[in-house]
A = this chain, B = another copy of it.
């Protein structure tokens, strides 16, 4: 792909994300994305054949970006604690601004897609998050920063609890206070309860 094509593809994905955030998954059409991006219909179809493909791509690139962040931070020998603080800070920021995220669209997508192929895709996304977060926990163990009885179970627990907070955030609506409390609790679970008394706010994400 040429540099220009890459740039155009990125522009389309960003525009599409804005529409999905505003209108949800089901109500978004290719025409909406054409209008949002200010490109021609033919131009859009050169890159993506449907809103479904675009949505898939957005979900995939989102989870890849988390994976890449982790890999960079580990390559730079950042401490386990710093990496986890960054991860949880990002999750918290997303939950604080749920109305500006693709959460609602993602739930619509989740519920509408019941084919075996779609389930497999979602399963792969989930497994991928588990694997990349697990790698960070193992890194923390290798650095002697933490110990875990069953790290995989803890990772699954983190991902599932954040999902639970998400569904409540988009449906019922929860206070920032409560989100903070829950994120704090997950931090305690993964970093040990003494983390509250450790140095905070001095790490750079």
Chain B's closest residue to A125 (CB) is B172
A89: min CB distance to chain B, Å: 19
Q: Give the docked Cα–Cα distance between A160 and B182 (Å).
A: 9
Residues of B within 8 A of A35 (CB): none
Interface residues of A in 165-188 (CB under 8 A from B): 165-168, 170-173, 178, 181-182, 184-185
Q: Output the residue of A154, A159, A168 with the most chain B CB within 10 A.
A: A168
How many residues of A are in contact with the other chain, CB < 8 A?
34
Contact A111 B122, beta carbon cutoff 8 Å = no
Per-residue 0/1 for A128-166: is the Cβ within 8 Å of any B Cβ (1 yes, 0 no)?
A: 000000000000000000000010011011011111111
Q: Bound state CA distance, A163 and B160, in angstroms?
A: 8
**Residue pair B171, A110 in contact (C-beta under 8 Å):** yes
Q: Indicate if the CB atoms of A153 and B126 lie closer than 8 Å.
A: no
Interface of A is mostly: helix
Query: A172's contact among B108, B122, B166, by CB below 8 Å, is which?
Result: B122
**Chain B hits for A172, CB < 8 A:** 110, 119, 122-123, 126
Closest partner residue, chain B, to A124 (CB atom): B172
Query: A182 near B153 (CB under 8 angstroms)?
Result: yes
Shortest CB distance A108–B (Å): 6
Identify A164's interface contact among B122, B162, B173, B181, CB under 8 A: B162
Please, how many angstroms separate the alpha-carbon atoms of A103 and B165 in the complex?
16
What are 17 A-B pairs at a CB distance below 8 A? A107-B111, A108-B111, A110-B167, A110-B171, A111-B170, A113-B171, A119-B173, A126-B172, A153-B184, A156-B182, A157-B182, A157-B185, A160-B161, A160-B165, A160-B182, A162-B164, A164-B167
